[in-house]
């Protein structure tokens, strides 16, 4: 190929990318590449495959645009080193393609680099919403970005900008708040944190999701396919009841309550946005041209690219070619296939050849993908060769864990307190509840595996660790099941919890505290002078039965791998400043939207403040 429009002639054997001036203007680079690409290469650039379905050599052969590790899609032994080696191999393979355009490797780093063993797991977004602290959210995203960069990953499918209205939804914890304004402020901060001050040198592309309005889906309208493990949820109420369901708001309501976070994110520089499974008055989001093109791209001026969600286009039509054309014509620019990517590429080529997808729509989609890659420095030799050099030691480093501990404390909300808090520094404590010493339960879904799991699934510190750090191990006795005969103490700290869940698998009709957990609370009640109950959950639960038993009830949400931050609030090392980001129903009737005689829900902003009293530190932690 002769010298290109940038006046640079690639050395023999060089790819086009290796020949670009550093950095050439985006418009020139993008236009040149698009003019060079075959239709097959354009379709490939619009394709995202999951890591188990593609090899580096496949990338060299096809010029695929992206690879993702979905929830639990972890390479090798799941260590940071294994991640970095796998991602580097995929990127290297893509640079051997004819045009040498590197892939974007995408992950769900939604509360830290949460698939990676030993990474810092930050509180889920609902807990960050309880901090209402944009600077803290920005710092958390920046720390997550550095841990993500350390493994060579330059794209995270975060932040989720859902504004959850029905807390029975399994993705409530992925949103910041039921208040769209707060969700927008924190969403903006998250995008700024992911991108950093120099997108080329130390940025990770954010991916605000899922556009738009999913927080308003109606219970009972779930539309997604049922996953084989649906029977997980015996006893926890139905699953897959609202997720991927239908939104029935007017356009004015949709714009008023659910659009603001995306406006903030675009203004903050977001270059990728994920479409949503939710339908709007029965029309699926991935096929809604008005939302994805007229509203998002034309009215809001979004210049980046829209990526589809996992197999979402398959739901548009039984004919895959028709489905692909519907999604792309609506405004999807990259498709998370994620398995049979050859089929998708072939479908696009066929649909364009048949005149069902205009070539200029393809060129626009490819140009948007390439623009994002150019902005992050992948489309010139300097950028492509110089992936940010962030040490693997950053993953799970002490500084990030301290930040996560601070965030867990700041998001802890005291719902009620009859003078039990803060726990006196000379108190002896009986600690009970399955979640009091369980990292997996404190982290919830999207942790190491897609749905997460109980147990010591990664490294970190629990609520029990924090209590012992503050009060001394000799004075904090673990009685996990609350059945240690005769054990008494001045103070009892008992957790109640939800098991980890994800997406529609966490849709739950009944938000009562399970009977067996209430039994543990009652058992400890009889053996202590003051009782503190800590709720570890992705959403509000009905705590009325606890209010009659406990002297204090605290919402800790899903605090992450540094749950000792929750204990910091209980013992007064950190002030209690957390406030509700969602209204907290006081009865199942209120959850269901039925009138009742219970006290009204605790409103957004509720939280019993505890002073900034700082208990004497026994080990200097905190």
Which CA distances in Å does 376 have to 52, 64, 102, 197, 580? Answer: 25, 18, 11, 12, 36
Query: Does 157 contact ligand GLC by CB under 6 A?
Result: yes
Query: Does 375 contact ligand GLC by CB under 6 A?
Result: no
Query: Binding to ligand GLC (CB under 6 A): which residues in 46-75?
Result: 70-71
Cβ closest to ligand GLC, residue 309 vs residue 417: 309
Query: Does 452 contact ligand GLC by CB under 6 A?
Result: no
192 belongs to the catalytic site: no
Q: How far apart are CA 495 and CA 25, in angstroms?
A: 56
The token pair that represents 508 in the structure block: 């739950």
Which CA distances in Å does 174 have to 116, 162, 503? Answer: 19, 7, 9
Cβ closest to ligand GLC, residue 70 vs residue 102: 70
Q: Beta 283-284 vs 279-280: how paired, if at all? A: antiparallel
Query: Binding to ligand GLC (CB under 6 A): which residues in 522-561?
Result: none
Helix 180-195 with 134-149: angle, nearest 10 deg: 40
C-alpha angle 609/611/615, rounded to 5°?
Answer: 130
The token pair that represents 8 in the structure block: 């640079």
Query: Does 133 contact ligand GLC by CB under 6 A?
Result: no
- Catalytic-role residue among 364, 438, 465, 503: 503
The answer to whether 237 and 509 are in contact (CB under 8 A) is: yes
Q: How far apart are CA 447 and CA 430, in angstroms?
A: 29
Q: Please tell me the count of residues contacting ligand GLC according to CB under 6 A.
A: 7
C-alpha angle 81/84/86, rounded to 5°?
Answer: 105
Query: Does 108 contact ligand GLC by CB under 6 A?
Result: yes
How far apart are CB 70 and ligand GLC at their closest, in Å? 4
Query: Does 209 contact ligand GLC by CB under 6 A?
Result: yes
CB atoms within 10 A of CB 246: 19
Place of tokens 């589809």: 308
342 belongs to the catalytic site: no
Query: Does 169 contact ligand GLC by CB under 6 A?
Result: no
Q: How far apart are CA 371 and CA 379, in angstroms?
A: 9
Query: Binding to ligand GLC (CB under 6 A): which residues in 305-324?
Result: 309-310
Q: How far apart are CA 617 and CA 622, in angstroms?
A: 8
Query: Does 192 contact ligand GLC by CB under 6 A?
Result: no
How far apart are CB 107 and ligand GLC at their closest, in Å? 8
Query: Does 214 contact ligand GLC by CB under 6 A?
Result: no
Cβ closest to ligand GLC, residue 20 vs residue 344: 344
How far apart are CB 291 and ligand GLC at their closest, in Å? 17
Q: How far apart are CA 33 and CA 225, in angstroms?
A: 38
Query: Does 507 contact ligand GLC by CB under 6 A?
Result: no
- Catalytic-role residue among 309, 364, 417, 507: 309
Cβ closest to ligand GLC, residue 447 vs residue 577: 447
How far apart are CB 245 and ligand GLC at their closest, in Å? 13
The answer to whether 420 and 156 are in contact (CB under 8 A) is: no
Binding site for ligand GLC (CB under 6 A): 70-71, 108, 157, 209, 309-310
Query: Would you please indicate which residues are annotated as catalytic (active-site) residues?
Result: 309, 503
């Amino acid at each position: 190929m002769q010298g290109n429009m940038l006046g640079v002639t690639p050395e023999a054997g060089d790819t086009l990318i290796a020949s670009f001036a550093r950095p050439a203007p985006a418009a020139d680079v993008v236009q040149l590449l698009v003019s060079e690409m075959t239709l097959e290469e354009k379709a490939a650039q619009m394709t995202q495959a999951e890591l188990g379905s593609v090899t580096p050599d496949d990338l060299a052969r096809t010029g695929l645009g992206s690879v993702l590790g979905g929830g639990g899609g972890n390479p090798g032994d799941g260590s940071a080193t294994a991640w970095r080696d796998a991602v580097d191999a995929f990127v290297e393979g893509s640079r051997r393609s004819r045009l040498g355009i590197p892939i974007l490797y995408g992950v769900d780093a939604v509360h830290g680099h949460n698939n990676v063993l030993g990474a810092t797991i930050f509180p889920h977004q609902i807990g960050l919403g309880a901090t209402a602290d944009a600077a803290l959210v920005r710092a958390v995203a920046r720390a997550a970005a550095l841990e993500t960069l350390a493994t060579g990953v330059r794209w995270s499918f975060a932040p989720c900008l859902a504004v959850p209205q029905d807390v029975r939804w399994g993705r409530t914890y992925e949103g910041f708040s039921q208040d769209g304004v707060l969700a927008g402020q924190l969403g903006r901060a998250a995008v700024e944190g992911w991108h950093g001050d120099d997108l080329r040198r130390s940025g990770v592309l954010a991916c605000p999701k899922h556009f738009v309005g999913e927080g308003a889906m109606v219970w009972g309208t779930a539309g997604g396919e049922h996953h084989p493990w649906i029977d997980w949820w015996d006893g926890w109420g139905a699953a897959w009841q609202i997720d991927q369901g239908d939104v029935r708001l007017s356009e004015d309501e949709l714009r008023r309550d659910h659009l603001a976070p995306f406006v903030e994110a675009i203004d903050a520089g977001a270059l990728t946005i994920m479409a949503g499974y939710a339908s709007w008055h029965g029309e699926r989001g991935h096929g809604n041209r008005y939302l994805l093109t007229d509203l998002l791209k034309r009215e809001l001026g979004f210049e980046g690219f829209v990526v589809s969600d996992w197999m979402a286009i398959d739901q548009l039509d039984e004919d895959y070619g028709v489905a692909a054309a519907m999604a792309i014509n609506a405004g999807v620019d990259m498709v998370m296939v994620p398995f049979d990517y050859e089929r998708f590429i072939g479908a696009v080529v066929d649909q364009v050849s048949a005149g069902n997808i205009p070539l200029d729509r393809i060129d626009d989609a490819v140009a948007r993908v390439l623009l994002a890659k150019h902005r992050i420095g992948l489309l010139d030799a300097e950028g492509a060769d110089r992936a940010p050099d962030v040490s693997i030691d950053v993953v799970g480093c002490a500084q990030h864990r301290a930040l996560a501990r601070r965030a867990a404390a700041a998001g802890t909300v005291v719902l009620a307190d009859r003078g039990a808090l803060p726990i006196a520094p000379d108190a002896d404590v009986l600690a009970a509840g399955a979640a009091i010493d369980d990292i997996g339960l404190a982290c919830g879904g999207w942790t190491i595996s897609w749905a997460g799991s109980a147990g010591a699934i990664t490294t970190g510190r629990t609520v029990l660790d924090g209590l012992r750090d503050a009060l001394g191990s000799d004075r904090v006795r673990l009685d996990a099941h609350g059945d240690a005969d005769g054990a008494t103490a001045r103070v009892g700290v008992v957790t109640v919890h939800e098991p980890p869940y994800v997406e529609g698998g966490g849709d739950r009709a009944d938000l009562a505290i399970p009977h067996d957990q209430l039994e543990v609370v009652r058992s400890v009640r009889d053996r202590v002078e003051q009782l503190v109950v800590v709720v570890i959950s992705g959403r509000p639960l009905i705590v009325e039965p606890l209010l009659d038993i406990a002297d204090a009830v605290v919402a800790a949400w899903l605090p992450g791998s540094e749950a000792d931050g929750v204990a910091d609030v209980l013992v007064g090392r950190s002030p209690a400043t957390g406030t509700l980001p969602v209204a907290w129903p006081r009865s199942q009737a209120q959850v269901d939207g039925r009138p009742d005689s219970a006290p009204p829900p605790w409103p957004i902003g509720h939280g019993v403040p505890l002073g900034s009293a700082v208990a004497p530190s026994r080990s200097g932690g905190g």
